Structure 1
């Protein structure tokens, strides 16, 4: 059997792109319905109305399929907001996370992928790449806030963006508390307040001794 293509190394077009889209949609549906334990390449092929040999040849393993699914999710995610203020931008970010996690399909899908990442190195690496992509997409809104003088010059943009989504994922995965608009707004406001106070400065250790 031909070795499967490494996910992310090919940008398919035409029929190949349609097949990939159908397979990834089917994989996402299967994950949302049954979790990683129930994900089966033959079942995904059936759901996508694609030949089993096509799926096995292109992806080869469940880990490869999940990796490609995460790559596609990162590529298809909505671009960051640009409201002109840090609070506006981070509120938009928090509301996007909140909507995604409370969506019936997307929420179940993320839970399945996160669960899979705890036991599979490749899935964990793909999940980190997904979040790195999203964090880097939103980091410029913090950089713009620094340029406007809203934040200390040495603020770490990635840390600010992580601070927005962290409490939302905590509610989603750990406490089960309501993940509503108010929770999203609080997360954004808390991140802005902490950033303005210098909590996310890269040189906090040195700054505390000056």
Structure 2
């Protein structure tokens, strides 16, 4: 759910086409970080990337198309999941990766711009949702591994655990503007691990099945 800086779902192009795409998406990210989505202009992107305006207009069409492709690229190029052998270790690795991304001046500004744009632009919203779906899906298996080791209860929802790790860090980015440091990342990971062990992230069907029936409920 984090990036180290990669669209649409097609075969990745090679040669000159790949170089053009990389330059355009880099320029898109830079301009988003500098000026936000509202001022993202395809002509400015073309100028920054040193490619023809016609190429940018023909391939991406509008700013939302650029952002959608940028988010696809970011998801593809983000670092793979770390496996430490413990749930806390894995969640801490995830939290620190999020922390490094969001505390980076360029990346933090880029995410603020994209998240703000997603509030009112449907295509950007869809691209952002796909980005996070990919990143959460990459890390959720660490919870399944923790279930297999007996660290957390059977039926724990791995995706919800990963969301809980990132949420406090995004709150700092978007709301409180407090420092996004390693201490904050470690607290987020530790809190999510404790809650997962206590059964806070059981799937609703599992939680319902485990709830004892009361004498006054139907069927008793």
Determine if the TM-score, normalized by the shorter chain, exceeds 0.5: yes
Greater Cα radius of gyration, structure 1 or 2: 2
Report deviation, 1:16: 0.6
Secondary structure of the corresponding residue to residue 78 of structure 1: coil
- Whether the 8 Å contact between 1:8 and 1:68 is mirrored in structure 2 is no
What is the aligned-residue RMSD (CA, Å)? 1.1
TM-score, structure 1 length as denominator?
0.95
**Which residues in structure 2 correspond to 1:155-194 (within 5 Å)?**
155-194=156-195
Structure 2: unaligned runs, 5 residues or longer: 1-6, 214-220
Provide the residue aligned with 1:123 in structure 2: 124
Provide the residue aligned with 1:85 in structure 2: 86
Measure the CA separation in 2 of the matches of 1:205 and 1:169.
30
Structure 1: unaligned runs, 5 residues or longer: 1-5
Secondary structure of the corresponding residue to residue 27 of structure 2: helix
Secondary structure of the corresponding residue to residue 150 of structure 1: coil
Provide the residue aligned with 2:97 in structure 1: 96
Report deviation, 1:175: 1.2
Secondary structure of the corresponding residue to residue 201 of structure 2: coil
Measure the CA separation in 1 of the matches of 2:209 and 2:169.
31
Structure 1 consecutive aligned stretches of length 4 or more whose deviation exceeds 4 Å: none
Provide the residue aligned with 1:153 in structure 2: 154
Provide the residue aligned with 2:212 in structure 1: 209
Secondary structure of the corresponding residue to residue 140 of structure 2: helix
Report deviation, 1:177: 1.8
Measure the CA separation in 1 of the matches of 2:118 and 2:211.
37
Measure the CA separation in 2 of the matches of 1:125 and 1:190.
29
Aligned residues: 205
